[in-house]
Amino acid sequence: MTPRRPARLVVLVSGSGTNLQALLDACADPSYGARVVAVGADRDDIEGLARAERAGVPTFVRKVGQFTSRDHWDRAVTDTVAGFEPDLVVLAGFMKLVGAEFLTRFGGRVVNTHPALSPSFPGMRGPADALAYGVKVTGCTLFVVDAGVDTGPIVAQRAVPVEDDDTADTLHERIKVAERAMLVDTVGRMARAGWTVEGRRTRFGDEG
Ligand code: GAR
């Protein structure tokens, strides 16, 4: 994929939006090579939407409950996102699985950030599951979204040590520090250099 310059990012959120904020801050520098053209959510009244509004970025909300089926919701999200003509869609703490229509329209151009080292601990409780398992190192993963749960081709990972006195919350907060840096570094490189996906292998356009 070779994005436009600056690359157009649509970011989907469900919560506090600290990863979104890191992207918004990075995009303030023109040399970053990307800008957030819209932020979408599956719920109202979240800090992620407030962050977008403060940055002057258009927002939209599509709640599953507003639609007669999950497929209708997926189609509505797909159409709305498509209207913003994204080069890259970033799921940043978006707590819904996107559906078949979304992946057909944007396949290979949707990344998700997950607070664990894939393929370990997929799902909604990555930090808590890593802690319960007793691993000494966990981390975060940015991957190209496919039809599975946190199974897509990996673009970047960062390792984070587990401390003896960690709770799921303290561990998640430490992971999120690494995750924001990973997201900013990786999305910027994708925007500036482009990327390819071949099977499970991803590559930046500036790699040999
Ligand atoms: C992030 O740690 C993200 O990886 C996680 O939610 C957090 C959102 O934080 N996502 C998942 O667990 C999805 N499986 P934020 O709203 O402050 O960016």
Render pLDDT for 168-195 as a digit per residue (tens, 0 to 9): 999 999 999 999 999 999 999 999 999 9
pTM recorded for the entire structure: 0.97
Return the residue whose CA atom lies nearest to atom 9 of ligand 1: 93
Return the residue whose CA atom lies nearest to atom 1 of ligand 1: 93
HEC-encoded secondary structure of 68-119 = CCHHHHHHHHHHHHHHCCCCEEEECCCCCCCCHHHHHHHCCCEEEEECCCCC
Q: Contacts for 110-113 with beta carbons within 8 Å, 24 or more apart?
A: 110/144, 110/145, 111/142, 111/143, 111/144, 111/145, 111/155, 111/186, 111/187, 111/190, 112/142, 112/143, 112/145, 112/150, 112/152, 113/19, 113/140, 113/141, 113/142, 113/179, 113/182, 113/183
**Cα 208 to averaged position of ligand 1 atoms, centre (Å):** 32
- Number of structural domains the chain divides into: 1
Q: Is the CB of 92 under 6 A from ligand 1?
A: yes
Q: Is the CB of 141 under 6 A from ligand 1?
A: no
Q: Does a structural domain hold residue 183?
A: yes
**Cα 140 to averaged position of ligand 1 atoms, centre (Å):** 10
pLDDT at 67 (0 to 100): 97
Q: Does a structural domain hold residue 35?
A: yes
Residue pair 146/127 in contact by the 8 Å Cβ criterion: no
Ligand 1 atom, smallest distance to 13 CA: 16
Closest CA to 51 of 83, 20, 74: 20
For the domain that residue 35 is a member of, what is the CATH number? 3.40.50.170
Q: Does a structural domain hold residue 2?
A: no
Q: Does a structural domain hold residue 47?
A: yes
Q: Does a structural domain hold residue 42?
A: yes
pLDDT tens figures, 134-178 = 999 999 999 999 999 999 999 999 999 999 999 999 999 999 999
Ligand 1 atom, smallest distance to 175 CA: 2
What is the percent of the chain where pLDDT is above 90?
96
